[in-house]
Amino acid sequence: MCTKTKKLEKKPSDFSKIRPWSSIFQNVECETIALNIVGILARTGDEWRELKWEEYKEEREKEGVSLSSKHEYFEAISEYCSTYKTARLFSPDWKI
């Protein structure tokens, strides 16, 4: 009997180790924020979920980062970082 092996979904921590160059946005600011989002998800339970702006801002401020104009970038890309499936769509480097 032949059985298929189900590919295990990777966790945010797996993505946080890989810089997402050549993302669908072709914008280094978006790529940096995406990497920050998966890093925060990795540190706060290592599960895929929707990260809200307030939590993102709070976590980044803990690291001493000012977020004066990052909100519009965050809103544009945050949905791509909420599930394994959508994160893989964000960049060819994240097709893990």
User: Which of residues 69 and 72 earns the better pLDDT score?
Assistant: 72
Q: Are 15 and 30 in contact (CB under 8 A)?
A: no
One-character DSSP codes across 52-95: PHHHHHHHHHHTT---TT-HHHHHHHGGGGSSHHHHHHH-GGG-
Task: State the pLDDT at residue 3.
Answer: 54
Task: State the pLDDT at residue 6.
Answer: 53
Task: State the pLDDT at residue 68.
Answer: 73
Tens digits of per-residue pLDDT, 6-59? 568 999 999 999 999 999 999 999 999 999 999 999 999 999 999 999 999 999
pLDDT value at 5 more than 60 = no
Those residues whose C-beta lies under 8 Å from the C-beta of residue 41, and which sit 6 or more positions away, are 12, 16, 47, 48, 49, 51, 81
